[in-house]
């Protein structure tokens, strides 16, 4: 909680807590569109106009409410999404998978290498990074994975992004990605619209806090960020893989009005796919300064 307050500020964290309570504890029969708009209000700080959207968040909320795309459930699923990558002829950027299951009790830890990553297939923040298998409490890990499978089914039913409700929860165990770069393994998030990369956000750790910076295609630092208060924009070195990553991101976003493509550049040469995000933040992204919510909205054509 303290690190969240440092990175985002007290007011934003309070609003996020209220929004979480609304989504988790409102009886599902009362979880109406108006309640979900109220939740969005607490997250972005203004009442969104989804019928005549102008800001980036409003346009994503509009798409979430009024537009249906059968591809959304596929690309949001970290397991099925791999099929989309393969169909685009980019199988070589997929990370190695060790095991996939809907029953964590079947995981054979003795067959896994010393380092690996465990994650759920339907969310970006459900991960267990294992750097040394000998230090692993297997019972705790299996219990946590079972919670992700069983309990999260109920949470998926509440997800305001309805395409998530069609995802079958799975546990994926994949290769641990190690980087020799001085800044460590960085996650490059390509914000794409109309088949072109608009901006690239990248996260870095500053004084123990994970903050994000935003760049254009030419790697010029932009005067805004998402997800954190302005505690000082952090300049990240231009990745050696940038041109190749832009080419891949634009190949993957073809045919989508908007798509965020997450990639890794491993040791200046190897590109590894991270994930595809149909609605970043679910239409509730925090822009700092806030005016860039509108500026990005001007660039997004639904």
DSSP string, 143-193: HHHHHHHHHHHHHHHH-SSGGGGG----EEEEEPP---STT-S-EEEEEEE
Secondary structure letter of residue 95 according to DSSP:
P
Residue 197: asked if its preceding bond is cis (omega within 30°), the reply is no
Q: Which fold has domain 70-94+179-277?
A: D-amino Acid Aminotransferase; Chain A, domain 1 (3.30.470)
pLDDT string in tens for the chain (302-residue length):
555 544 455 666 777 777 777 667 667 656 667 777 888 888 888 999 988 999 999 999 888 877 778 888 888 899 999 999 999 999 999 999 999 999 999 999 999 999 999 999 987 778 999 999 999 999 999 999 999 988 766 666 666 666 667 788 899 999 999 875 656 688 999 999 989 999 999 976 666 666 788 999 999 999 898 866 554 556 788 999 999 999 999 999 999 989 999 999 988 889 999 999 988 888 888 888 889 999 999 998 87
Which residues have a Cβ under 8 Å from the Cβ of 31 and sit 6 or more positions away?
23, 158
Domain regions of the chain by residue span: 70-94+179-277, 96-175
Q: DSSP letters along 225-268, please?
A: EESS--S-----PPPTTHHHHHHHHHHHTTT-SEEEEEEEEETT
Q: What pLDDT is attached to residue 28?
A: 62
CA 284 from centre of chain: 13
């Amino acid at each position: 909680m303290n690190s969240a307050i440092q990175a985002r500020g007290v007011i934003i964290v309070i609003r996020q807590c209220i929004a979480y309570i609304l989504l988790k504890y409102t009886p599902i029969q009362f979880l109406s569109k108006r309640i979900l708009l109220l939740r969005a209000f607490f997250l972005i700080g203004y009442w969104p106009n989804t019928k005549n959207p102008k800001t980036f968040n409003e346009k994503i909320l509009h798409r979430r409410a009024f537009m249906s795309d059968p591809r959304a459930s596929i690309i949001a699923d970290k397991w099925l999404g791999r099929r989309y990558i393969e169909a685009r002829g980019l199988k070589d950027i997929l990370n190695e998978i060790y095991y996939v299951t809907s029953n964590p009790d079947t995981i054979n830890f003795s067959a896994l290498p010393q380092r690996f990553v465990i994650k759920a297939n339907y969310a970006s923040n459900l991960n267990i990074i294992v750097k040394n298998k000998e230090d692993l409490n297997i019972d705790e890990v299996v219990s946590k994975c079972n919670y992700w499978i069983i309990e999260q089914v109920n949470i998926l039913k509440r997800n305001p992004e309805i395409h998530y409700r069609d995802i079958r929860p799975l546990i994926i165990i994949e290769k641990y990605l190690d980087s020799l770069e001085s800044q460590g393994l960085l996650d490059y998030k390509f914000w794409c619209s109309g088949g072109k990369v608009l901006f690239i956000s990248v996260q870095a750790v500053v004084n123990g806090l994970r903050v994000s910076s935003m760049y254009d295609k030419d790697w010029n630092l932009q005067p805004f960020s998402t997800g954190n208060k302005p505690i000082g924009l952090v300049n990240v070195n231009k990745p050696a893989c940038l041109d190749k990553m832009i080419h891949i991101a634009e190949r993957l976003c073809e045919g989508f009005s908007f798509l965020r493509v997450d990639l890794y550049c491993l040791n200046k040469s190897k590109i590894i796919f991270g994930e595809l995000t149909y609605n970043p933040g679910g239409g509730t992204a925090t822009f700092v300064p806030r005016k860039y919510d509108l500026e990005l909205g001007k660039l997004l054509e639904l």
